[in-house]
Structure formats: structure tokens, C-alpha cells
Amino acid sequence: MLGIGKENELPTILLIDDDIVSREVIATVLTLHGHSVHTADNGEAALQMLGSGAASPEAILVDAQLPGLNGIALLERLRKHGAAGIFLISGSRPPKELVAAADGFLLKPFSPEDLQRLLAGRAPKSAVPVDDADEPVVSPETLAQFRQIMSETTVREIYVTLVTDLKKRLAALENAIATGNKDEVRRLGHAIKGGCGMAGAKHVARLGEILESESDQLDNCAAALQELYAATGKLGRMLEKEFPA
């Protein structure tokens, strides 16, 4: 658990997200904003934490596309462990019936302020589209926000994790496209979109969205994969320039 929230009396959060980049970015940002945050990478682990008393959250953030136990079945089981508000998080809009079963929905990337508005019963702000032309590798606004609330070492760790995770997903995507595994291409694209969006790597996030939405068109996915290789290389060079070891 990362926790400093008790001092500011902000709600304790249980974050359930299988994507390591999304999980680390969200947990770090919310913790430094003043929340106590527990994390789990799947539904069963979260239920075990709740059942054992290891976590007593006032709000639960649940990724809409978890492996294993997920969806409405997971939400129903989470509700048996207390009165915490349950909010979906996702890089794309979940099915209407799943949104209806939760207490609210946040579209990744979101800010601590978006979460506060949701907890207060107000809708989060809509993301503003950004033109791809001459777009920086990482949003300067996101990078500046991270640097305001985190140490340089912590910010660097986020982007090291991002690049390392992307390299693993590139190899998995290449294999999935080569074998025609459209479901795996869709899953990987969704994960890339969510994690990179939260970290401000908007171009990479959009490539993830292409892979997710066009997984039935493997030729398009193969082209997006090549661009993703190039974008990952740019992220690595940005990391070396901004945060020299």
C-alpha cells in the first residue's frame, strides 16, 4: 500500500488494474495527491484483500477489462465487502450494462481532480483532442504535473516502467499478429492505450487505440505495430535525455 491520505482525510482507494503502467501511474499520482491507495492486479486478489481486512477502502477503482473474474460478476462480489463506491476506469467506454452496475465511470487518462468530481457526484471533464502534428513524445503538461508532485527519481521510474512494458508488449503483439490472434491484439492495444494515456504518451496511446479498434484488420495492425516500434524508440530517447541515469 502507498499511503499518506489519512492526513488529508481523502478517501482511501482500492485500485484494481492488471496493467502495470496504469496501476503504478494512477497509484502514485493519487497517493501524492493525498489518498491512501491499495492496489491489486486482478479481481480475485482484490477480494482476498477485502476479505482479510488488508484493505478497507472508501472507493474502489476497477479496470473494465480485467483477466479472469471481471465485469458485473466482480462488481457484485465487491459490493458484498462493504459500502465503498465502485467506479469503472477504462481507456474506452465499457458496455452500458456494466456502467449501470457501477457507481460511476472515469475515462483514462484522468486526473485526481476528475476523481474528486466523480466522488462528489459531478462528471469528469472530457479529454481535449490533440493534433498529432509535431506532437511531443510525452505531453509537457503531464510531465510538468508529475514533476510538481513527485521527485525526479519517481517520475523517471514511471517512464522506465513504461518503456520496459512497451518492449514486452511489442514482442507479444508481433506474435499475436503473426498467428492471427485478434483477441490478443485487441487486449494488448487496450492495455497500451490505457497505460500510455495515463503517462501522457498520447501518440503511443492512440496507436494502442488503433490496435484495439482495428484488431480484425491485421494488415492495419501490422502497420500500427511498426509505428509503435518507432514511437517506443522515441520514448526511450526521451527518457535518456530528460532523465539521464
pLDDT surpasses 50 at 3:
no
In this structure, the answer to whether residues 12 and 113 fall within a common structural domain is yes
In this structure, the answer to whether residues 94 and 181 fall within a common structural domain is no
- CA dihedral for 144, 154, 117, 100, sign (positive or negative): positive
Residue indicated by cell numbers 496507436: 207
Q: Name the pLDDT band for 200 (thresholds 50, 70, 90).
A: very high
In a domain, 133, yes or no: no
Domain boundary among 119, 151, 168: 119
In this structure, the answer to whether residues 7 and 96 fall within a common structural domain is yes
Tell me what pLDDT residue 182 has: 94
In a domain, 45, yes or no: yes
pLDDT surpasses 80 at 130:
no
pLDDT surpasses 50 at 128:
no
- CA dihedral for 216, 219, 223, 226, sign (positive or negative): positive
Pairing status of strand 59-63 against strand 85-90: parallel
Residue indicated by cell numbers 506532437: 135
Q: Which domain holds residue 54?
A: 2-119
In a domain, 134, yes or no: no
> Residue 126, Cβ neighbours under 10 Å: how many?
8
CATH number of the domain that 11 lies in?
A: 3.40.50.2300
Q: How far apart are CA 207 and CA 193, in angstroms?
A: 7
Tell me what pLDDT residue 47 has: 96
Q: Name the pLDDT band for 220 (thresholds 50, 70, 90).
A: confident
Tell me what pLDDT residue 134 has: 60
Q: Name the pLDDT band for 6 (thresholds 50, 70, 90).
A: very low
Give the residue-averaged pLDDT of 181-193: 94
In a domain, 81, yes or no: yes
Q: For residue range 47-100, list pLDDT tens digits in order.
A: 999 999 999 999 999 999 899 999 999 999 999 998 899 999 998 888 889 988
Answer with the residue of higher pLDDT: 177 or 220: 177
Please list, in sequence order, all residues whose beta carbon lies within 8 angstroms of the beta carbon of residue 87, skipping any fewer than 6 positions away. Answer: 59, 60, 61, 62, 102, 103, 104, 105, 106, 115, 118
pTM of this prediction? 0.75
Query: What's 214's DSSP letter?
Result: T
Pairing status of strand 59-63 against strand 104-107: unpaired
Tell me what pLDDT residue 93 has: 84
| Number of domains within the chain | 2
pLDDT surpasses 80 at 4:
no
Percentage, residues of the chain above pLDDT 90: 65
pLDDT surpasses 90 at 122:
no
Domain boundary among 70, 86, 119: 119
Tell me what pLDDT residue 10 has: 86
In this structure, the answer to whether residues 22 and 111 fall within a common structural domain is yes
In this structure, the answer to whether residues 93 and 167 fall within a common structural domain is no
In a domain, 144, yes or no: yes
Domain boundary among 54, 84, 119: 119
Q: Name the pLDDT band for 16 (thresholds 50, 70, 90).
A: very high
In this structure, the answer to whether residues 48 and 109 fall within a common structural domain is yes
In this structure, the answer to whether residues 113 and 144 fall within a common structural domain is no
3-state per-residue secondary structure call for 57-72: CCEEEEECCCCCCCHH
> How many C-alpha atoms does 103 have within 13 Å on its Cβ side?
21
In a domain, 131, yes or no: no
CATH number of the domain that 155 lies in?
A: 1.20.120.160
pLDDT averaged over every residue in the chain: 87
Q: For residue range 135-164, list pLDDT tens digits in order.
A: 788 999 999 999 999 999 999 999 999 999
